[in-house]
Amino acid sequence: EPEVTQTPSHQVTQMGQEVILRCVPISNHLYFYWYRQILGQKVEFLVSFYNNEISEKSEIFDDQFSVERPDGSNFTLKIRSTKLEDSAMYFCASSEPDPPMEQYFGPGTRLTVT
Amino acid sequence: GQSLEQPSEVTAVEGAIVQINCTYQTSGFNGLFWYQQHAGEAPTFLSYNVLDGLEEKGRFSSFLSRSKGYSYLLLKELQMKDSASYLCGPNTDKLIFGTGTRLQVFP
């Protein structure tokens, strides 16, 4: 069964450093998403991406964040200058173009900022 | 505005039936998703309701009332592996989850 994959599974970085989290969505999906979940808290929407552009973003997704689809398979989330409060599990998801457009989540990348 | 409410925790015993409620208020509503999330894992899709009424899928059923902004997830014949968080999320071109309901199933 096709699945969303994410790398790395765990990333440790120092405050102020840039990180890039990578995702490979399911191949025939056209909508891509990033969510984050701080330990013990709810899953929070960050951004959705369709047709090579951001379709929607939350207030969390500020200028420190960017997304890119550099080729036909990868979807990346970049955090330019990490803060301690960026420590969280980051989930990538993708969905088909047709309703119900259920989102399939990847296993997540645990980001630890020290 | 937008709001989403679920009970924080529900407990039940194996073999029982449990209902997890969700009330929501949102604009641009297309339907309502239910996801299951085991601790430390990603959410996985359970159900999607667009129309009012009950959708049954094996041991799990989901109900929606659009006029009341209300949904519930019904889990029958509970098993230990059903212990997880259950997230409802209105589909408004993005998934907005609440804090979810943590279900603990006891033997």
Q: How confident is the model at residue A28 (pLDDT cuts 50, 70, 90)?
A: confident
* Chain A residues inside the 8 Å CB shell of B48: 100, 102
Gap between the Cα atoms of A33 and A54, Å rounded = 9
Rg (CA), chain B: 13
Q: How confident is the model at residue B26 (pLDDT cuts 50, 70, 90)?
A: confident
B73: amino acid identity, one letter:
L
pLDDT in tens, B46-78: 999 999 999 998 999 999 999 999 999 999 999
CA distance B77 to chain A (A): 25
Q: Which helix (H) or strand (E) holds B74?
A: strand B70-75
Which of A56, A107, A108 is facing B94, going by the closest CB pair? Answer: A56
pLDDT beyond 80 at A41: yes
pLDDT of residue B93: 65
Q: What mean pLDDT is predicted for residues A35-63? A: 92
Query: How many CB atoms neighbour CB B16 within 10 A?
Result: 13
pLDDT of residue A81: 95
pLDDT in tens, A53-62: 998 899 999 9
Q: What are phi and psi of B50, to 5 degrees?
A: -110, -45
Q: What are phi and psi of B80, to 5 degrees?
A: -55, -35
Q: How confident is the model at residue B95 (pLDDT cuts 50, 70, 90)?
A: confident
B6: amino acid identity, one letter:
Q
Mean pLDDT across chain A: 93
pLDDT of residue B2: 74
Gap between the Cα atoms of B23 and A90, Å rounded = 26
Q: What angle do CA B6, B9, B11 make, to 5 degrees?
A: 130
**Full 3-state SS string of A49-100:** EECCEEEEECCCCCCCEEEECCCCCCEEEEECCCCHHHCEEEEEEEECCCCC
With 0-12 CB in 10 A as exposed, 13-18 as middle and 19+ as buried, what is A22?
middle
pLDDT beyond 90 at B19: yes
CA distance B85 to chain A (A): 10
Q: Does B97 touch chain A (CB under 8 A)?
A: yes
Q: Does B99 touch chain A (CB under 8 A)?
A: yes
Q: Percentage of chain A with pLDDT > 70?
A: 98
Using CA coordinates, name the residue in chain A closest to B6: A42
Greater model confidence, A88 or B95 = A88
Q: Percentage of chain A with pLDDT > 90?
A: 77
pLDDT of residue A100: 66
CA B85 vs CA A53, A59, A102, B37: distances in Å: 32, 25, 18, 5
pLDDT of residue A99: 67
Residue holding tokens 């960017």? A66
Which of A44, A101, A105 is facing B43, going by the closest CB pair? Answer: A105
pLDDT of residue A75: 96
